[in-house]
Structures are given as structure tokens and as C-alpha cells.
Amino acid sequence: MKNTVVTFRQMKEKGEKISMLTAYDYSTAKLEDAAGVNSILVGDSLGNVVLGYENTIAVTVDDMIHHGRAVAKGAKNALVVVDMPFLSYQTSVYDAVVNAGRIMKETNCGAVKLEGGAVVCPQIKAIVDASIPVCAHLGLTPQSINAFGGHKVQGKTIEAAQKLLDDAKAVEAAGAFAVVLECVPARLAQKVSEAISIPTIGIGAGNGCDGQVLVYADMLSMFSDFCPKFVRKFANVGEMMSQAFKDYDAAVKDGSFPAEEHTYKIDDEVIEKLY
Ligand code: KIV
């Protein structure tokens, strides 16, 4: 059954955990969808994982649409959420609605995600008023990496923890259907989850959240540039790929690939008539 923002709300009400994973292409989305993952996030981590950038700052709306469209084609049941990249919504409410609208129309996704709390609530409200579901994102928001001065756990002081709780209440009031909490102490994330009625989706925020999200290339050990403490490696696909690439290289070079079963036949008389 197709997961929607209503499914998210019902799952929180019933105390059922929500699973979300990132994907950036059709084949990965198909596998995640078939596995029963509730939601697929086309994260702007696309910049790091797929495009090889140092951070997410350079990712464009066109990049997100290109990959979001492929993921949406592969996801039959999962709710597809596409990230709004840096400066596609911070500049104005008008820009936010136009860019969210483009993402929805051109990808066929079910929702958009943007980073920030009270400061982007006018944008969240306007996008929701245009009938586009919005997932918020608080805590370590990678588009602010230059302002944070690195990947740091957020909300550890009284002021910062209170701000995070206030921001969570603000995005809920603005109409967000869910909120991602990234790199937040587990007890704070639990308190936020209990204080708001929309689901919290944690990444590095402990198991008191209503759901969890991971970057799929991290949990499969396919991305080796850096690995945050909160990642569990569910499989070593990176190692398997690396071994398979070495085996392929060796098989091509020693002539054992392609073998008979990988080749197409032709009648002898056709070859014989050639001059
Ligand atoms: O871009 C992304 O993949 C994300 C997740 C880390 C939540 O925003």
C-alpha cells in the first residue's frame, strides 16, 4: 500500500516505527521499496555520495529533480521525499513555493524536505498552503555546515536544547508533517518526540525518535570518505563491489571473460560468405 503523509501520522499514533533510507537512483529505490522501507529520501547528500562534492552546498534544484524523478519511478509504495537544496528556499517565500512546486511537478515525489526551524516557518507554511507536504530538518543541518564550523552534535547546552524544542514546535505549527532530527543527544530527541504530534525521524538521535533514516551508502559501507558514529553497517557491499571489480579486471585481462555462455552465435555460412 502506498505510504503517504497520512501513513506517517497514523504510524506515530499507533507507536509503529517509521523506516526511511536515502536513494538517488531507480534501481536502489526499487530494492528499498521492495524491502518494505516506508519512505525514501532523495537527500541532498547526493552531493557527497553521488557527485563527489565535499558538502551539500553546491547541489542544485536541477540535480534534485534529475535524481528525484528516477527514485520516484522505482518507488511503488514508499513515500518519496526530495530535499530542497541550499538557497532554493532560504531566499524568499516565493522562491520556496516555486522551487517546491517544480520539484513536485517534475519528479512525481510525495513531499519535500527543507532545513531549519522558526526562521523558515513562513516558507513551510506557504509550501504547505500550496498543498505540498513538507518534512522539516533540525539539529545538524548540513546546509549550515560553514556556520556550524563542522559536523558537531547539536542541542547540548540549555539554550541550544530549548531552541531545538521550540523549533520543533514551530515547524509543527507551520504545518510540517514530520521532522528529521540529526546529530542530537538521544534524551533531547526523545523529549522532542514526546512534545510534538508529528513524527520525528532520527539520524544520530537515538531510538526515542518515531522513525530512523540513514544514508544508504553509509549503511552498506559503500561510501568511505567519512563515516559518522551513528551509522550501523548492515552489510559490506563496498567490499563486495571492490572484489567484484578486481575479479572482472583480472578476467578481462586473462581472457576468461566473456565465456561461451556470454556470446551470441551466427551461422557458419554467413561468416564463410564474407570476403
Ligand atoms: O541529505 C540527506 O541525506 C539527509 C539525511 C542525512 C537526513 O538530509
Catalytic residue among 106, 182, 261, 272: 182
Q: Which residues contact 125 (CB under 8 A, 6 or more apart)?
A: 174, 175
User: Which atom number of ligand 1 is nearest to the Cα of residue 215?
Assistant: 3
pLDDT digits (tens, 9 = 90+) for 190-243: 999 999 999 999 999 999 999 999 999 999 999 988 889 999 999 999 999 999
pTM of the model: 0.97
pLDDT digits (tens, 9 = 90+) for 125-166: 999 999 999 999 999 999 999 999 888 999 999 999 999 999
Is ligand 1 within 6 A of the CB of residue 43?
A: yes
Nearest CA to ligand 1 atom 1: 43
Confidence at residue 150, expressed as pLDDT on a 0 to 100 scale: 86
Task: Provide the b/e sequence for 145-155 (b: ≥16 CB within 10 Å).
Answer: beeeeeeebbb
Q: Tell me what percent of the residues of the chain surpass a pLDDT of 70.
A: 100
Nearest CA to ligand 1 atom 8: 43
Cα three-residue angle 208-212-217, rounded to 5 degrees: 145
Is ligand 1 within 6 A of the CB of residue 107?
A: no
Is 182 an annotated catalytic residue? yes
Is ligand 1 within 6 A of the CB of residue 45?
A: yes
